[in-house]
Amino acid sequence: MHYCLFDIDGTLMNTGGAGQAAMEATFAEVFGITAPIKEKIPMAGRTDRAITGDIFRYYEIDLSESNLARFIAGYFERLPRHLQQLDGLLLPGVRELLQQLTTQKNVILGLLTGNYLGGATIKLEHFEIDHHFGFGGFGDNHFERDDVASEALAEIHQRYPNENVQPHNVWVIGDTPADVQCGRAIGANVIAVGTGFCEREDLIASSPDHFFEDFSVIEEFLKLMN
């Protein structure tokens, strides 16, 4: 059995910046912070929990449980609107690849993403691919991507206790060196895809096991599962 753990942003989809826009709108409307986030806080390959914490600290907002809950609720409320307004899209070959993988009896699909679980669900539902994924590791409680990977791997073991899950049967698929690193942290195979904002040379230099420009090469991907 092969367990494929997909990143979301830059790997499955480009939301047109909807996540950042929804975060900025939440900070503006809930906390009165109107400056662009990306100019102040690095976001690519990081968890939403880490990004949120950095923004709170940068603008000296009390990082209390109540403030964090207000932010997350506001973000989830605004994200669907920004997904509708911006020109997002599924990346090349993604819908067809997921459909093909879902029909494979020896493949199970999951997620390994820095998104909050609620945010991930909203994005996947918007592009109508949520039904392909039943579990994963998410960025709700983790500041480091490696910890998200450990959560996803633990989910595999919990859901499939009778399977002999080996590292060579687990695949981490993403678009940044952080995806490669977290895959290495759990001993998984890593597939990198050049559809995100990371420089191609930097992504290849991070030494994934396989690199695809995009997922239009469906047959090449499927060969790895056989």
- DSSP of 29-59: III---S-STTTS--TT--HHHHHHHHHHHT
Residue 41's pLDDT band (cuts 50, 70, 90):
confident
Question: What are the b/e assignments for 156-179, b being 16+ CB within 10 Å?
Answer: beeeeeeeeeeeebbbbbbbbbbb
Please report which confidence band the pLDDT of residue 198 belongs to, taking 50, 70 and 90 as the band edges: very high
Above 90 in pLDDT, residue 44?
A: no
Where do runs of H (alpha helix) occur along the chain?
Answer: 18-26, 48-58, 65-85, 94-103, 117-126, 145-159, 177-185, 200-205, 218-224
Measured distance CA(198)–CA(176) in Å, rounded: 6
pLDDT surpassing 80 at residue 167: yes
Sequence-separated (6 or more) residues with CB below 8 Å from residue 14: 88, 89, 91, 195
Q: Check pLDDT > 80 for residue 94.
A: yes
pLDDT mean over 4-9: 98
Place of tokens 């500041």: 143
pLDDT at site 183 = 98
pLDDT of 35 > 80? The answer is no
- Cα–Cα dist 172/131, whole Å: 19
Q: What is the pLDDT of residue 37?
A: 78
Query: Which residue has tokens 């960025």?
Result: 139
The Cβ of residue 39 has, within 10 Å, a number of other Cβ atoms equal to 6
Distance between CA atoms of residues 112 and 135, nearest Å: 9
Angle between helices 177-185 and 145-159 (to 10 degrees): 50
Q: How far apart (Å, rounded) are the C-alpha atoms in residues 152 and 4?
A: 10
